[in-house]
Amino acid sequence: MRKLIYIVIISFFEFFVQNSSNACFCGSHYSGINNFGATALTIPAETLPRGKFALGYALNYQDYDSFSFNYFKEVNRKQIHSHSLDALLTQSVNMAYGVSDDLSLIVNLPFQAYMGLDSTAEGLRVDDGNSVGIGDISVFAKYKFLEKNHFSAALIAGIKIPSGHTEEKNEFGFLLGPDSQPGSGSWDPLVGLAVSKSFDDFALHSNILYKFSTQGAQDTTVGDSLNFNFGASKSLDDGKLFSRQVLPAKILGQRLSWDLISEVNGIWREKVETNGIKDPNHGGLIIMLTPGFRVSINERIYNTVFMSFPIFQELNGVQSDLAFQLGFNTSLVF
């Protein structure tokens, strides 16, 4: 908990004094394009009504199993070049606009803090410190092409712009690797599909989102990635699961709506490639189970809290395993 508080304080400070995700397994980097759907990380097919504007903020903390001193010694004996990470904090500001009832435009601006970076080089352990800065801006369009019998489907297309910081250095003045930089320095197209099915007080959502990685900073391609998610949400407004005393319908005159959320979230990443050579200690597959809940206020303010636990990890080579992640999303619809 102390580590989490420290990271939050440092990253907020850095955010305001400095003018995404690359090789890490970031869960909520694009969760802000949810708009107002009752989901945690899954992107629903819903779009904003015409003329509506949404402003959102997402906070995601990931805790990793950093290498122990003895494990680093073992890795060094094998002359393996690898990286260790304590934690990653990703914050993002998201803006969305309803061009029509079926078309929304979304802008995502992330800010990333890699904490406790260590690496091996020529048999030595190098303390790379922290890497903090603004990540790459992503611009999306979400088009709902089907809506029938409470089932909807939407296409997602976007581009990640190389606007992030790519020149973070360690305490010795050496440039950190491209996979440890807040930005990638590359133009990366994104394409995906989202589907949703709603019932009286229950809804199902699913999406896939693929990122095509191109060469960026340090002549490096951080690798393609595929996000795939499936989520279910249950409204508690009927009062059957909890009493009004436990989950009140109103506070200070404001109407509250409650939803329980359960999701399965997966992300696959390619290996990092530099000058045509792929790093065997990057990329892989992680699948997580994510419970959470959402509370909306007057159907204008939407707040979601969730926690993810890895249920499957198949990482390439030598890497820090993901231990858990915590997330919070909030959005205001005008």
12-47 b/e with 16+ CB inside 10 Å = b?
A: eeeeeeeebbbbbbbbbbbbbbbbbbbbbbbbbbbb
Only one residue has tokens 């906070």, namely 59
Domains present along the chain, CATH in parentheses: 2-333 (2.40.160.40)
pLDDT of residue 22: 45
What tokens appear for 77 in the block?
A: 């004996």
Does the pLDDT at position 246 exceed 70? Answer: no
pLDDT of residue 123: 62
End-to-end CA distance of the chain: 35
The CA distance from 33 to 13, in Å, is: 25
Alpha-carbon separation of residue 228 from 41, 76, 162, 319 (angstroms): 10, 35, 24, 22
What contacts 119, CB < 8 A, 6 or more positions away? 81, 82, 83, 84, 125, 126, 128, 177
- 53-67, 163-177, 188-202, 229-243: lowest mean pLDDT where? 229-243
Give the residue-averaged pLDDT of 90-103.
Answer: 94
The CA distance from 204 to 194, in Å, is: 11
Give the residue-averaged pLDDT of 65-76.
Answer: 79
What tokens appear for 115 in the block?
A: 């904490």
Give the residue-averaged pLDDT of 125-154.
Answer: 93
Q: Is 6 left (phi over 0), alpha (psi -120 to 50) or beta?
A: alpha
Given pLDDT bands bounded at 50, 70 and 90, which one contains residue 9?
very low
pLDDT digits over 213-227, tens only? 999 999 999 999 999
pLDDT of residue 26: 46
- The pTM (predicted TM-score) of the whole model is 0.86
Residue that wins the pLDDT comparison between 18 and 173: 173
> To the nearest whole percent, how much of the chain has pLDDT over 90?
60
CB 18 within 8 A of CB 165: yes
pLDDT of residue 27: 43
Given pLDDT bands bounded at 50, 70 and 90, which one contains residue 255?
confident
Give the residue-averaged pLDDT of 141-155.
Answer: 96
